[in-house]
Amino acid sequence: EPEVTQTPSHQVTQMGQEVILRCVPISNHLYFYWYRQILGQKVEFLVSFYNNEISEKSEIFDDQFSVERPDGSNFTLKIRSTKLEDSAMYFCASSEWALGNQPQHFGDGTRLSIL
């Protein structure tokens, strides 16, 4: 069964550094998402992306965050200048469509630790 894959599985970064989290969504999916889960808290929506542009973003997704689909397979989340509070699990997800009640398929996540 096709899977969403995320790399790296664990990223340790110094505060203030830039970090790029990578995802390969399922190949025939058109909608892509990033979520995060701070330890012990809920999974929170960050951003949805379709047709090479952001469809929706949450208040968490400020100017420090950006997303990109640099080629036909990868989907990336960049945090420009990391803060301690950015430490969390970051999940990428994809769906065939967003309009039409489609399930989202999640990767196993990247654990981001900011020192």
Partner 1 sequence: SQQGEEDPQALSIQEGENATMNCSYKTSINNLQWYRQNSGRGLVHLILIRSNEREKHSGRLRVTLDTSKKSSSLLITASRAADTASYFCATDARAGGTSYGKLTFGQGTILTVHP
Task: Give min distance, CB of 68 to partner 1, in A.
Answer: 18
Task: Give min distance, CB of 12 to partner 1, in A.
Answer: 16
Strand order in the sheet with 75-79: 5-7, 19-24, 75-79, 65-68
CA distance 91 to 34: 6
Q: Quick one: 14 or 62, whose CB is closer to partner 1?
A: 62
CA distance 34 to 49: 9
Task: Give min distance, CB of 16 to partner 1, in A.
Answer: 28
Q: Which residues bind partner 1 (CB under 8 A)?
A: 4, 31, 33, 35, 41-45, 48, 50, 55-56, 58, 91, 93, 95, 98-99, 101-109
Q: Quick one: 18 or 68, whose CB is closer to partner 1?
A: 68
Q: Quick one: 35 or 75, whose CB is closer to partner 1?
A: 35
Length of the chain: 115
